[in-house]
């Protein structure tokens, strides 16, 4: 799927949802990512680095949830 198709699908999903939490999450995601200028690992906020390191350690330990299971959970949680 191209980036243009992904954007179109995202817009479609946002327009269809009545879940304020989902819209708020998406808004915060995009506003936050634009406001954190990160040029290198050392420039990242410490809290973000710790979160990434924790996630890597969990992945290395095999503590993962398959993508299809995560998507099923989100579909169930945000279904209309």
Asked if residues 23 and 14 have their Cβ atoms less than 8 Å apart, the reply is yes
Digit-coded pLDDT (tens) for 2-59: 989 988 998 998 899 898 888 888 888 877 755 555 567 887 788 988 999 999 999 9
Asked if residues 52 and 61 have their Cβ atoms less than 8 Å apart, the reply is no
One-character DSSP codes across 18-73: --HHHHHHHHHHHHHHHH----SGGGS-HHHHHHHHHHHHHHHTT----HHHHHHH
pTM of the model: 0.40
Asked if residues 1 and 63 have their Cβ atoms less than 8 Å apart, the reply is no
């Amino acid at each position: 799927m191209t980036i243009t198709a992904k954007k179109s699908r995202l817009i479609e999903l946002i327009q269809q949802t009545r879940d304020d939490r989902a819209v708020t999450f998406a808004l915060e995601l995009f506003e936050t990512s634009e406001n954190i200028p990160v040029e290198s690992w050392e420039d990242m906020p410490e809290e973000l680095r710790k979160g990434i390191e924790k996630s890597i350690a969990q992945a290395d330990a095999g503590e993962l949830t398959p993508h299809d299971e995560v998507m099923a959970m989100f579909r169930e949680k945000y279904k209309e």
